[in-house]
Amino acid sequence: MYFTKKPVTIEAMQLTEENVAALCEWCGGKIKSHPWTGVVIETLEGNMLASKGDWIIKGIQGEFYPCKPDIFEQSYHAADAPIAQIASNFQMALFALKAGRKVARSGWNGKGMFVVLQKGYPDGIKINANTAEALGIEEGTVKKFLPYLMFQTAQGDFVPWLASQTDLLADDWEVV
């Protein structure tokens, strides 16, 4: 059997001579400074030594562990924002939406379906013929639109979206 590791955003600091105190504080007392050898980290697997240049990674359970620079470089790249790739619940999905990301439920049965936050038109936009007719106002009238959630269907069309109770309570949200 083969497996692909789920992409997640991690926190990490590289150990230098100048940042030992900051690193110790960041790890919340789970590492001890040893001036001649680096730092000793209390990991889930026991104490591990990290040397100058090693990266200290905060894992998904809040644990810390060292990583050699070459392995770190092969495994990670800089991330724009600390948003988990797996949003899991709707609260995390909403956080991702507000950060400008697309989200979807793994349980949806169509390909290419996702939700985005449409930031609206706070300064207003001229109303087109369809909207003018629906609202009974003159075409070209400038109206403000508040932010709203927009859904891309499996056919590639867009529609304003409102979460169902099932969507709100689901734990299969993903950042796409």
Phi-psi region of 105 (alpha: psi -120 to 50; beta: other; left: phi over 0): beta
All structural domains of the chain with their residue ranges: 11-75, 90-175
The answer to whether 105 and 87 have CB atoms below 8 angstroms apart is no
Distance spanning both ends of the chain, measured CA to CA = 25
Averaged pLDDT for residues 11-40:
80
In this predicted structure, the answer to whether residue 34 has a pLDDT above a threshold of 90 is no
Averaged pLDDT for residues 77-96:
69
Answer with the residue of higher pLDDT: 6 or 138: 138
Per residue in 119-168, pLDDT (tens digit) is: 999 999 999 999 999 999 999 999 999 999 999 999 999 999 999 999 99
- Residues 6 or more apart whose Cβ sits within 8 Å of residue 104: 113, 114, 115, 173, 174, 176
On the CB side of 56, how many CA atoms lie within 13 Å of its CA? 30
